[in-house]
Structure 1
Amino acid sequence: MNMCSVKSDFWKNRRILLTGHTGFKGAWTALWLEKMGAEVIGVSLPPEGDFSLYGSVEDHTAFRSHFIDIRNRTELDEVVSSENPEIVLHMAAQALVRRSYKEPVLTYETNVLGTVNLLDSLSRTSSVKAALIVTSDKVYANNNSGRPFVETDELGGDDPYSSSKAACEIATASLSKSLFKDKTIPIATARAGNVIGGGDFSEDRLIPDIWRAACDGKPVTLRYPNATRPWQHVLESVSGYLTYLQALCEDADNKLPRALNFGPAAAETFTVGQIANQVQEAFDIKSDWLLNKTEQPVEKTALALDAGLAKNALGWESKWQAEKTLDMTVDWYKAFSDGRNAFELTLSQIEDYEKETA
């Protein structure tokens, strides 16, 4: 199958309910959708922290933002019933592993019950044509073998975040067969690799930590430098989600898989330390990173995804290799630090990606 790309014409004038639009990945998605002419209806908590991509670009957009907690079933139901979305992309989540240890109840309430609330609301609307629930590459029962996971592998998780996302997968599959049994709305899940890119200012994430260390003139500390992850640019994962939703809407024969991995080629798996070395060199940081020797919550050392099914089913495959991904990421932060407008900067990189993947 030929490479399937995101089709601007498909998204023009579509009403898209995007949850988590104030997050790093959500903001990139919202900007791309609006650039293509979509009507973006955002549902999210307000952005956290002093910096956020959403906060830097919101004045340049026409998003209709509903700042609510998806754990609030009544408010979420009111938004869904009043906005009548055509397509739903669910990204809202408590997405940090270390925070999940500190706040396990919040993590399960947001990631599992929040998703159940959304699906329950969607089951009572007639406007929706397809819905995609974004989970994580960490939904698999991981024995640290390093073998790339395929969609039929056992789900599981040894930490609150991973297990909450695995539970989200199970809940989505169950509700799609029960609440939606008399409907023709395709409900699917997407599992993406470790996403990086400009505009991420979250805590406990590698690239933002290095950028902050560079700004402060301090060495960055790494918790697990030998851990391997399926690194990919944010636009790669978002292109997968949008391509998947396009196909779900056009899947008249109901033949598409209901869960897909989106990740880099197997040869593109690097350790945290390797990525840190390359990014520090790009930021012209002279000091070496330091090992964080304090006691840390346990995280899996090896993690890789097999995205072969996404290629077979959609024609989707990762286009930007690690070098390109890191170049685009570092370029964004450098330009932002030099005072460039975040909105124009982000749109420029979206346009670059569109040209290279058309």
Structure 2
Amino acid sequence: MKLLITGGAGFIGSAVVRQAIAAGHEVVNLDALTYAACLDNLASVADDPGYTFEHADIRDRAALDRVFAQHRPDAVMHLAAESHVDRSIDGPGTFIDTNVMGTFHLLEAARAYWTREGRPEDFRFHHISTDEVFGSLGPEGQFTEETPYDPRSPYSASKAGSDHLVRAWHETYGLPVVLTNCSNNYGPFHFPEKLIPVVILNALAGKPLPIYGDGSNVRDWLYVEDHAEALLLVVQKGAVGRSYNIGGENERTNLDLVRTLCAILDRLAPREGSYADLISFVTDRPGHDARYAIDPARIREELGWRPSVTVEEGLEKTVDWYLANEPWWRALQARQGVGERLGVGA
């Protein structure tokens, strides 16, 4: 397939690009290169004849029309988004502009292209979203594809809006879409403002390891390469108009996760005392969702996918990667907002 991947220089997007190229697909990577993007994530495929980079913004309709006309993709995989909850609290406008209006412009460009091409049945618009659109769970239960939407942050509300637009373009215009909603990703090339890289890099620097509230918030952790594999499966074999929840089947409290990371660091980069001594509890994020958990039965039963990496294996791989790739993360630490406490604007 020829895939147009938006946000392909980001964390999840670059994992999808690398796997797609390895699987023999052609990839056109469309990215605006905002603060969280990094072309170094794609160094391993940059010279591959099947890879093309387009520096463009999903909010720029003229640029989108040119890219569609020039490259004529078989499918769109839409990952470009503002995604950091704390940043959405401090500056929600950017999230509405990119995640809602950007998705609208991409849908319209894709619809115009699909119509010009004679409405091919095998074209796909794959919208990649988050489990955060479903809100917050109590101690029991899991999100399914039928769970009502209940977003609690500007980020999750903007993603919920984009999900609704994609479904509406399918129902109103017949655009052949598939949707996925994933749990928390982690792994190599994770931008250093999210929990796991923050803990790793703060630990190596001997700085406090900040945990919001009492650390009891629960997340389902999905190794990014498992997620990329699932996304490529859905874009090829997912049923039109269908959504698929993608989970890691690895629930952990934030505190347990950080303690596991500290134990791995104690083995791989020993220091005097344990890294766990650096754990520090800080004021909670406003509106912090208590628990996310995904029921991945649909993608398992319909498409035969399930995660292959346990959270313990994935965290070990991730720590190994950060220890071996200091030049990559050092360069990103200088970017705006990295290393600062964000999300206190409420």
TM range (shorter): 0.7 to 0.9
User: Which residue identity lines up with residue 130 of structure 2 in the other structure?
Assistant: S
Could you tell me how far apart the structure 2 residues matched to 1:295 and 1:230 are? 19
Matched residue, 1:258: 242
- Residue 273 in structure 1 maps to residue 260 in structure 2: no
- Residue 110 in structure 1 maps to residue 101 in structure 2: no
Matched residue, 2:340: none
- Residue 158 in structure 1 maps to residue 148 in structure 2: no
Could you tell me how far apart the structure 2 residues matched to 1:152 and 1:247 are? 20
Unaligned runs of 5+ in 1: 1-13, 249-254, 340-358
Change (3 A) 1:313 1:55: closer
1:121-166 CA distance string (max 9 Å, x none): 1111227711210010111143545421110010121111111111
- 1:211 deviation in Å? 2.3
Q: Give yes or no for contact 1:47–1:55 (8 Å, CA) kept in 2.
A: no
Number of aligned positions between the proteins: 313
State which drifts further: 59-68 or 25-34. Answer: 59-68
Could you tell me how far apart the structure 1 residues matched to 2:263 and 2:91 are? 35
Task: Give the secondary-structure state (helix, strand or coil) at the position aligned to 2:93.
Answer: helix
- 1:186 deviation in Å? 2.6
Change (3 A) 1:206 1:318: same
Could you tell me how far apart the structure 2 residues matched to 1:50 and 1:84 are? 24
- 1:314 deviation in Å? 0.7
Match of 2:127 among 99, 121, 133: 133
Q: Give yes or no for contact 2:226–2:307 (8 Å, CA) kept in 1.
A: yes
- 1:60 deviation in Å? 4.7
Task: Give the secondary-structure state (helix, strand or coil) at the position aligned to 1:124.
Answer: helix
Matched residue, 1:247: 237
Unaligned runs of 5+ in 2: 329-346
- 1:202 deviation in Å? 3.5
Matched residue, 2:82: 94
Match of 2:183 among 193, 197, 208: 193
Q: Give yes or no for contact 1:52–1:199 (8 Å, CA) kept in 2.
A: no
Q: Give yes or no for contact 1:283–1:330 (8 Å, CA) kept in 2.
A: yes
**RMSD (Å), alpha carbons:** 2.3
Could you tell me how far apart the structure 2 residues matched to 1:338 and 1:122 are? 38
State TM-score, norm by structure 1: 0.81
State which drifts further: 52-61 or 281-290. Answer: 52-61
Task: Give the secondary-structure state (helix, strand or coil) at the position aligned to 2:208.
Answer: coil
- 1:191 deviation in Å? 0.5
State TM-score, norm by structure 2: 0.83
Could you tell me how far apart the structure 1 residues matched to 2:278 and 2:246 are? 30
Q: In percent, how many aligned pairs have the same letter?
A: 26
1:227-275 CA distance string (max 9 Å, x none): 1001010011111111111214xxxxxx56611100023xx21011111
1:171-215 CA distance string (max 9 Å, x none): 111111112x2xxx5301101110000111232x11210222133
Change (3 A) 1:50 1:113: closer
- Residue 229 in structure 1 maps to residue 213 in structure 2: no
